[in-house]
Structure 1
Amino acid sequence: MTETTMPAAPGAVPHRTLPAGALPHDWRAVDEGWGRRGPDFATLSEPSACREYVALHHALGVDHGDHLLDVACGAGLAVELAALRGATCAGVDASARLVDVARVRSPEADLRVGDMHDLPWPDATFTVVSSFRGVWGTTPGALDEIRRVLVPGGRLGLTVWGHVKASPGAWALAPFRLAAEPQVRNQAAMTSLGRPGVGEAVLEAAGFVDVRRVRIPFAWEFADPATYARALASTGPAFVAIQEVGEPAFLAAAERGATAHVRAGLPLRAEVDVTGFLARTAAAR
């Protein structure tokens, strides 16, 4: 799914030559990071992304007649919501355990375990491709594959983290910095697409046209610090931090940081800046 500090695959490995459900070696860590607590992620963390999903679908004009692919679909909530707008949906994610959740949510969708650098669909299959914090500054090669599977004039919508440090909810991401320093630096490289002009340049270099930046609403909400800590621990970046400091220390730090933001009678709320990009492939001549 969505944000991860796991390394990108160093090259495209032909998906069709792998056994069913198998992935290139470098992607196994993604399932370990994201899939180990799939039910927690799907029920405690992902629902807060509904604002983000709905806003991008609306901006893309997802509707009946669309054939939509969600890249890094994770537990599949965005796929489920796109289908409610009338789209015929597909999704791909490197975490087999999250794809299992997505298949329960959307049994009619074409959901596959795979590498976004080698999408297992033919050229010009989809009218729309979305990805919610799944394509990063460290994985620009995925855009070549996305362009390949889009029809001429097909629409692309991406979201990425924006100016996190200036966000009122920046505190909610602070525990990720418990990871080892090289991983923290990698996080900064991953989120580079949100910087002024960077995402636009990367998309244009990948052959997309009519690129524009849009504001996307995003807010995490949790009942209490303990629920927030458990939800955060279900994500890929948390897994990297937990490997460095241990799970008890990670959970304790997360709860401690959240306690300062408790307001009597209200849920914890962390608004974080998320940037969206809309683009399309060139129309057929």
Structure 2
Amino acid sequence: MTPTLVPHHPARDWAEIQERMLVPLYEAVYARLGVGPGTRLLGLDCGTGLALLMAAARGAVAAGAERDHARAELARVRLPEGVTVASEVPGDGPYDVVTSFHAADRTSFGPGDLTRAAQPGAAVVLAGWGPPERCATEPLLRLADRLADRRPSPRTDLGALVVRAGLRPVGSGRVACPFGYADEASAVRGLLSTGVFDAAVRTADPAQVEKEIGEALAPYRRADGTVWMPNAFRYVVARVP
């Protein structure tokens, strides 16, 4: 594979390469819920803050919680004054919209956190990967399991998570979120920044992990060297009783 040009910095790679791939999901959810002036929104696992920035641009009062220290620090640098990011669920609620855009993969918050700062009737949104047949990244997810020497990770049942959190489901949707990269090196860095390969990097040779990711990207590499991976994400909307 083409060698990466700079050392990996997962939080920065997430901010500079990967996070924008989910913009269609953020936009679809905010449009559906009418996020705007008067909305108080809390984003769990808010990463480096792009979804919060988009909510604030719509006029919402936005805050986030992120337990990855490096991501949280980058978010604080990037976000405008008044948009806060804490390591735990903030106590300055209540919020009328709570989002967990990574409920199916890297979330570090449990079902109870979804309602801790939410007011009665608040909308709670959980999101994750769409059907495997509509996700070009599916083989990469299976590769991550193989390299980490573990059984394939089962898909998180968002509906079951809604039930465990004591929420009332009111709707769902799917959004196309293609992953597009300038080159293979950017694709490898972006995919590594998601956290999907963290266990593999800890248990295997990182150089071998990068090599195998590059090889798995071959079907999605275009003639001009760019990488294009069509994906669909699913979200569930629920209400706090």
TM-score of the aligned structures, taking structure 2 as reference length: 0.86
Whichever residue aligns with residue 94 of structure 2, its letter is: T
The verdict on how the C-alpha distance between 1:145 and 1:259 changes in structure 2, with shifts beyond 3 A counting, is closer
- Map 1:132-281 → 2, pairs under 5 A: 132-133=101-102, 135-136=103-104, 142-182=110-150, 184-185=151-152, 187-188=153-154, 191-193=155-157, 199-265=158-224, 267-281=226-240
The verdict on how the C-alpha distance between 1:254 and 1:121 changes in structure 2, with shifts beyond 3 A counting, is same
- Map 1:29-178 → 2, pairs under 5 A: 37-108=10-81, 109-114=83-88, 119-121=89-91, 125-133=94-102, 135-136=103-104, 142-178=110-146
For the Cα contact (< 8 Å) 2:98–2:118, is it kept in 1? Answer: yes
Determine the structure 2 residue equivalent to 1:24.
Answer: none
Sequence identity, in percent? 26
Whichever residue aligns with residue 245 of structure 1, its letter is: A
Matched position secondary structure for 1:142: coil
Matched position secondary structure for 2:25: helix
CA shift, 1:51, in A, is 1.3
Matched position secondary structure for 1:156: strand
1:139-186 deviations in whole A, cap 9, x for unaligned? 79822232231111111111112222553443444442343333x44x
Matched position secondary structure for 2:197: helix
- State which drifts further: 265-274 or 47-56: 265-274
For the Cα contact (< 8 Å) 1:204–1:211, is it kept in 2? Answer: no
CA shift, 1:263, in A, is 2.0
For the Cα contact (< 8 Å) 2:222–2:228, is it kept in 1? Answer: no
Gaps of 5+ in 2: 1-7
CA shift, 1:269, in A, is 1.4
CA shift, 1:205, in A, is 4.3
Determine the structure 2 residue equivalent to 1:196.
Answer: none
Matched position secondary structure for 1:97: helix
Whichever residue aligns with residue 14 of structure 2, its letter is: F
Whichever residue aligns with residue 216 of structure 1, its letter is: V
Q: CA RMSD in A?
A: 2.5
* Structure having the larger proportion of residues in helix: 1
For the Cα contact (< 8 Å) 1:169–1:269, is it kept in 2? Answer: no
Matched position secondary structure for 2:43: strand
For the Cα contact (< 8 Å) 1:172–1:270, is it kept in 2? Answer: no
